Amino acid sequence: MNGDWFLRGRDGRLSVYVPSDADVRCRAERGPGGPWDPARVVGGDQRLHPVLAVGRGADGYAHLVSWRPTVPGESGLVHSTHYRAHLAALDWVPLGHPDRTGDRTGTPAVAVDAQGRAHVFVRNKGGGVSMLGQKEKGGWGPWRDLAGQDVHTALTAVTGESGRVELYASAPGALLHWRQEEPGKQPVLEDVTEAPVRPGTLRALATSPERTSLFFTDESGDLCVWRPGTGPVTLLAAAGPGPVTAVRTELDGHDCTLLAQVAADGRVAFAAYPTEDESAGAWWTPSGPRLPDGTRVSLAQDEEGRVVAATLAPAGELLLTRRKDEPGLALEAWRAV
């Protein structure tokens, strides 16, 4: 999975999206803070590969992108929009292939601009990045080659506070950053910087009106932060091998970035620090039970603005915890839903 698979919808309900062997399923609260409904298939009967990218617009709508098998040995991308977690999502719409034909070329990424238009990114067979975006009056534009070379298959897309879409990718020994100069325009490759990146560890977050921050793990196992135009800085040692999840939240009156990661011992580790002030330092605090290998963690904020953490095990078990209504980062006991 790629992106925020744990979301708060426009109606305040929390929901999770997860790919299975042949489809995508959604679980959602019956009402904000209430019990959860069983998982339901979204997007109709289309058979899919077990891959999913999720992006949420400012309107609260979820945009889902996956690969589907077409003819033997080939695949194509598909997109669906989910307006309300308790309603049926739109049927999957074919997006084609960045190289017209061929098999899967990488894990897609999706971000949604301020106008509610989805932008889909994926590595192409030439090792660069391709993109297509929704048109202002509906439908999709053509596939466009954004350049790049030898990029790793996992990308991360983010919408800045400006409403413009940005993309990050890694390549051997380097980080790459694309950014829209104006709303609706094709993102342009603006920055390439040297960094010993561990593939599959990228995560981006909007951290100020004009900047986004990229979190990644380097080859030595340190969790680093990069804002284009500056050099990467080391924040702390990564708690585990996978990517972090991140959210901005207010802690004791301060704008903070909260990170979560499944640690090497199988527990969830949390760390927080003042947003864009990595020099203040951060440290991990473990929480909850030891989880099965392959468990993922994600962060969201509920209707009341409280941070909620979710873990999803490969067998489908969903655990949640919420921040308590008290100073600091005290969490409620984890519970299965």
106: region left, alpha or beta (phi > 0 left; psi from -120 to 50 alpha):
left
Same domain, 204 and 329: no
The first and second tokens of residue 84, run together, are 């309300």
Same domain, 229 and 82: yes
User: What are 230-264's pLDDT values in tens digits?
Assistant: 999 999 999 999 999 999 999 999 999 999 999 99
Same domain, 284 and 216: no
| Residue 226: partners with Cβ closer than 8 Å, 6 or more residues away | 175, 193, 195, 213, 214, 216, 232, 233
Look up the domain containing 138 and give its range: 2-245
- Does the pLDDT of residue 176 top 90, yes or no? yes
- Output the pLDDT for position 50: 96
- Does the pLDDT of residue 109 top 90, yes or no? yes
Same domain, 221 and 267: no
Q: Which sign, positive or negative, has the C-alpha torsion 223, 225, 226, 232?
A: negative
User: What are 21-80's pLDDT values in tens digits?
Assistant: 999 999 999 999 999 999 999 999 999 999 999 999 999 999 999 999 999 999 999 999
CA distance 166 to 36: 33
* Tally of domains in the chain: 2
Boundary-marking domain end, from 210, 226, 245: 245
In 3-state terms, what secondary structure has residue 280? helix
User: What are 19-35's pLDDT values in tens digits?
Assistant: 999 999 999 999 999 99
Same domain, 322 and 191: no
Same domain, 10 and 110: yes
Boundary-marking domain end, from 245, 262, 283: 245
Same domain, 240 and 254: no
User: What are 127-170's pLDDT values in tens digits?
Assistant: 999 999 999 888 999 999 999 999 999 999 999 999 999 999 99
Helix or strand run (H / E) with residue 237: strand 233-237
Same domain, 238 and 250: no
Same domain, 323 and 239: no
Opening angle at CA 26, ends 261 and 308, nearest 5: 40
Sheet containing 222-226: give its strands across: 203-206, 212-217, 222-226, 233-237
Same domain, 233 and 269: no
- Output the pLDDT for position 106: 97
Same domain, 34 and 148: yes
- Does the pLDDT of residue 325 top 90, yes or no? no
In 3-state terms, what secondary structure has residue 147? coil
- Output the pLDDT for position 307: 97
- Output the pLDDT for position 270: 98
Type of residue at 129 = V
Boundary-marking domain end, from 221, 245, 269: 245
Average of pLDDT values for 116-125?
97
Residue appearing with tokens 């802690």: 251
CATH of the domain at 148: 2.120.10.70
Same domain, 190 and 317: no
